[in-house]
């Protein structure tokens, strides 16, 4: 018997705005590996990284695959060919591919993955990491994809979700997708909250399908394998899809907004949270965006809440002294604006009392007293009762001590949906007997 090797395969940044997509490449590679009788050791990973870096492709998603095989060299060779064939390098993609032929992923690999979630990592740092750790790597374009490729194989989940992504039959590529909205609506009703972000009731829009020319037909996100398979089976459309693959993912986990940002060294393009007190009250800017400042350890940080998030109302009701936790990404300073935190959520931890001084009320007549003149006290005009000073009146706050998250239409891949707040999926065991990958027999027959 030939010896078996464990091979970790990671790749990223193969897609472009004009059609190619990293998960489609994964679909092709899984199909090939199945034909090669490679043994899968886990679901493929679909890992979203820091959404606040400037050169991200559409979703900044990387893929990792873990297999056992007796012919790793042939497989590596073939996968390199796949990357070259299916990457949109001429359209600005900068693919990175890594192989790691070891059973266990060392702990510092996952630290690299954590960093890639929250910071900007240079491709040089990624190259150095690959060299020092015995990773075989292939870069095309400028090689920026190496960061995600390493981050994906090293990713360790403390919470995860699944996404079933279905792909279009090649004969339908470029044609308009026609997915019946009603079926998606019904699917959501039948499977929510085990599936999520499928249909936006407020905007009456389906969220499972991309609009561009890429080969993704639709994707169903959910809490486990059963729910995404069930959800996908309920989606109806005018065309049949080619097949699907289910990914284990960090989508919907809010993983990029867990670390406390260093307010003394607020790095541009980093993501994270800051807990601080409101020091500059909110101002509503042209376009409806809300700007305010918080202070932590005597450092003042300017925060911006953009109109499309749907939480500008909340932000505009903040008051000086409120203690809040905000999560978001740091925008780079430029000539026109200073460094600013783009807020993705607000958690109100402590509300300052809103009070003002008013004339006292006559206890008997329940009427507000009139001033008798400067420092002369107050008098009830009805019964003549007097009182010496003004009193404090509580004005109810219009916001509550709770978490405020963006509306569905402003969600990013990593945004934790409201129903997932406090939910943690411990890593669900891989079950290869389940249909996590499938190709329909109607392939290439068109509609
Ligand atoms: Zn009175």
What does the pLDDT look like over 273-282, one tens digit per residue? Answer: 999 999 999 9
Rounded to the nearest angstrom, the distance between the alpha carbon of 365 and the centre of ligand 1 is 4
Instruction: Give 100's pLDDT tier (boundaries 50, 70, 90).
Output: very high
Structure tokens at 101: 């032929």
Q: From the centroid of its chain, how far is CA 115?
A: 15
Rounded to the nearest angstrom, the distance between the alpha carbon of 380 and the centre of ligand 1 is 5
Q: Are the beta carbons of 343 and 315 closer than 8 angstroms?
A: yes
Instruction: Note the pLDDT of residue 210.
Output: 85
**pLDDT tens, residue by residue, 343-393:** 999 999 999 999 999 999 999 999 999 999 988 999 999 999 999 999 999
Three-state DSSP class for 444?
coil
More confident residue, 294 or 15: 294
Q: What is the DSSP string of 290-301?
A: EEEEEEETTEEE
Rounded to the nearest angstrom, the distance between the alpha carbon of 290 and the centre of ligand 1 is 45
Rounded to the nearest angstrom, the distance between the alpha carbon of 376 and the centre of ligand 1 is 17
Would you state the torsion angle of the CA atoms of residues 417, 117, 250, 155, taken in this order, to the nearest 10 degrees? -160
What is the β-pairing status of strands 299-305 and 340-350? Answer: parallel
Overall average pLDDT of the 417-428 stretch:
89
Rounded to the nearest angstrom, the distance between the alpha carbon of 396 and the centre of ligand 1 is 26
Structure tokens at 159: 């919470």
- Is residue 30 pLDDT above 90, yes or no? yes
Instruction: Note the pLDDT of residue 446.
Output: 44
Q: Give φ, ψ of 330 to 5 degrees.
A: -85, 120
Q: Are the beta carbons of 212 and 17 closer than 8 angstroms?
A: yes
Quickly list H helices, 154-201: 181-191
**How far apart, in whole angstroms, are the C-alpha atoms of residue 310 and residue 411?**
11
Rounded to the nearest angstrom, the distance between the alpha carbon of 384 and the centre of ligand 1 is 6
Instruction: Note the pLDDT of residue 324.
Output: 98
Rounded to the nearest angstrom, the distance between the alpha carbon of 367 and the centre of ligand 1 is 7
End-to-end CA distance of the chain: 45
Lowest mean per-residue pLDDT among 86-95, 369-378, 433-442:
86-95
- Is residue 442 pLDDT above 60, yes or no? yes
Nearest one of 74, 72, 97, 102 to 87, comparing CA atoms: 97
- Is residue 98 pLDDT above 80, yes or no? yes
Three-state DSSP class for 258?
coil
**How far apart, in whole angstroms, are the C-alpha atoms of residue 146 and residue 101?**
17
Q: Are the beta carbons of 276 and 196 closer than 8 angstroms?
A: no
- Is residue 16 pLDDT above 70, yes or no? no
Overall average pLDDT of the 408-434 stretch:
91
Instruction: Give 112's pLDDT tier (boundaries 50, 70, 90).
Output: very high
Rounded to the nearest angstrom, the distance between the alpha carbon of 387 and the centre of ligand 1 is 11
Residues 6+ apart with CB under 8 A from 444: 169, 170, 171
Rounded to the nearest angstrom, the distance between the alpha carbon of 392 and the centre of ligand 1 is 19
Helix, strand, coil proportions of the chain in percent (round to 5)? 25, 30, 45
**How far apart, in whole angstroms, are the C-alpha atoms of residue 293 and residue 283?**
10
- Is residue 214 pLDDT above 50, yes or no? yes
Rounded to the nearest angstrom, the distance between the alpha carbon of 358 and the centre of ligand 1 is 16
Angle between helices 181-191 and 225-233 (to 10 degrees): 150
Is the sign of the CA dihedral 236, 238, 241, 246 positive or negative? negative
Rounded to the nearest angstrom, the distance between the alpha carbon of 329 and the centre of ligand 1 is 57
- Is residue 152 pLDDT above 80, yes or no? yes
Instruction: Note the pLDDT of residue 335.
Output: 76
Rounded to the nearest angstrom, the distance between the alpha carbon of 368 and the centre of ligand 1 is 8
Nearest one of 162, 165, 127 to 15, comparing CA atoms: 165
Q: Are the beta carbons of 285 and 337 closer than 8 angstroms?
A: no
DSSP character at residue 309 = G
Overall average pLDDT of the 217-229 stretch:
96
Which secondary structure element, helix H or strand E, spans residue 147, and what is its range? helix 145-153
For the chain, percent of residues with pLDDT exceeding 70:
96
**pLDDT tens, residue by residue, 289-345:** 999 999 999 999 999 999 999 999 999 999 999 999 999 999 988 777 788 999 999
Rounded to the nearest angstrom, the distance between the alpha carbon of 370 and the centre of ligand 1 is 11
Structure tokens at 219: 């994707």
Q: Give φ, ψ of 144 to 5 degrees.
A: -60, -30
- Is residue 58 pLDDT above 70, yes or no? no
Rounded to the nearest angstrom, the distance between the alpha carbon of 403 and the centre of ligand 1 is 44
Q: What is the DSSP string of 76-140?
A: HHHHHHHHHHH--GGGT---EEEEE-SSSPPHHHHHHHHHHHHS---HHHHHHHHHHTT-EEEE-
Rounded to the nearest angstrom, the distance between the alpha carbon of 381 and the centre of ligand 1 is 7
Residue-averaged pLDDT of the chain: 91
Residue for token digits 């297999």? Answer: 67
More confident residue, 274 or 211: 274
Lowest mean per-residue pLDDT among 18-32, 98-112, 138-152:
18-32
Q: Are the beta carbons of 314 and 276 closer than 8 angstroms?
A: no
- Is residue 17 pLDDT above 60, yes or no? no
- Is residue 185 pLDDT above 70, yes or no? yes
Instruction: Give 447's pLDDT tier (boundaries 50, 70, 90).
Output: very low
- Is residue 445 pLDDT above 70, yes or no? no
Rounded to the nearest angstrom, the distance between the alpha carbon of 355 and the centre of ligand 1 is 24
Instruction: Give 237's pLDDT tier (boundaries 50, 70, 90).
Output: very high
CA distances, 7 to each of 149, 381, 440 (Å): 14, 88, 28
- Is residue 241 pLDDT above 50, yes or no? yes
Instruction: Note the pLDDT of residue 45.
Output: 97
Instruction: Note the pLDDT of residue 107.
Output: 93
Rounded to the nearest angstrom, the distance between the alpha carbon of 390 and the centre of ligand 1 is 16
Residues 6+ apart with CB under 8 A from 40: 30, 33, 65, 66, 67, 430, 432
Neighbouring CB atoms inside 10 A of 335's CB total 4
Residues 6+ apart with CB under 8 A from 236: 179, 180, 183
């Amino acid at each position: 018997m030939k010896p078996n090797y464990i091979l970790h395969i990671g790749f990223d940044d193969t897609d472009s705005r004009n059609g190619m997509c990293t998960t489609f490449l994964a679909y092709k590679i899984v199909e090939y590996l199945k034909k090669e009788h490679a043994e899968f050791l886990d679901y493929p990973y679909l890992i979203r990284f820091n959404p606040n870096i400037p050169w991200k492709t559409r979703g900044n998603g990387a893929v990792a695959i873990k297999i056992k095989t007796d012919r790793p060299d042939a497989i590596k060779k073939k996968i390199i060919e796949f990357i070259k064939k299916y990457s949109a390098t001429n359209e600005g993609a900068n693919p990175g591919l890594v192989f790691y032929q070891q059973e266990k992923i060392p702990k510092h690999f996952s630290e690299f993955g954590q960093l890639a979630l929250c910071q900007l990592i240079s491709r040089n740092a990624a190259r150095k990491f690959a060299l020092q750790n015995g990773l075989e790597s292939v870069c095309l374009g400028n090689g920026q994809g190496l960061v995600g490729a390493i981050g994906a194989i090293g990713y360790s989940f403390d919470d995860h979700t699944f996404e079933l992504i279905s792909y279009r039959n090649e004969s339908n590529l470029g044609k308009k997708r026609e997915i019946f909205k009603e079926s998606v609506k019904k699917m959501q009703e039948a499977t929510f909250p085990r599936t999520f972000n499928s249909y936006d009731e407020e905007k009456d829009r389906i969220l499972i399908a991309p609009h561009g020319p890429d080969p993704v037909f639709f994707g169903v996100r959910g809490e486990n394998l059963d729910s995404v398979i069930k959800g996908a089976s309920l989606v109806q459309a005018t065309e049949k899809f080619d097949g699907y693959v289910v990914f284990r993912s960090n989508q919907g986990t809010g993983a990029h907004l867990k670390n406390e940002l260093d307010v003394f060294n607020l790095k541009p393009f980093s993501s994270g949270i800051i807990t601080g007190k409101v020091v500059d009250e909110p101002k509503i800017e042209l376009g409806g965006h809300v700007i305010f400042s918080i202070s932590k350890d005597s450092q003042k940080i300017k925060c911006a809440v953009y109109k499309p998030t749907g939480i500008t109302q909340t932000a505009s009701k903040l008051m000086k002294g409120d203690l809040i936790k905000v999560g978001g990404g740091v925008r780079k300073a430029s000539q026109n604006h200073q460094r600013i935190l783009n807020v993705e959520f607000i958690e109100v931890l402590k509300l300052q009392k809103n009070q003002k001084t008013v004339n006292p009320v006559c206890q008997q007549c329940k009427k507000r007293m009139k001033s008798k003149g400067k420092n002369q006290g107050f008098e009830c005009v009805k019964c003549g009762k007097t009182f010496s000073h003004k009193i404090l009146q509580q004005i109810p706050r219009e916001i509550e001590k709770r978490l405020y998250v963006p509306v569905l239409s402003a969600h990013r891949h990593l945004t934790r949906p409201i129903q997932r707040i406090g939910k943690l999926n411990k890593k669900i065991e891989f079950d290869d007997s389940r249909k996590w990958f499938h190709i329909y027999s109607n392939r290439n027959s068109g509609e």
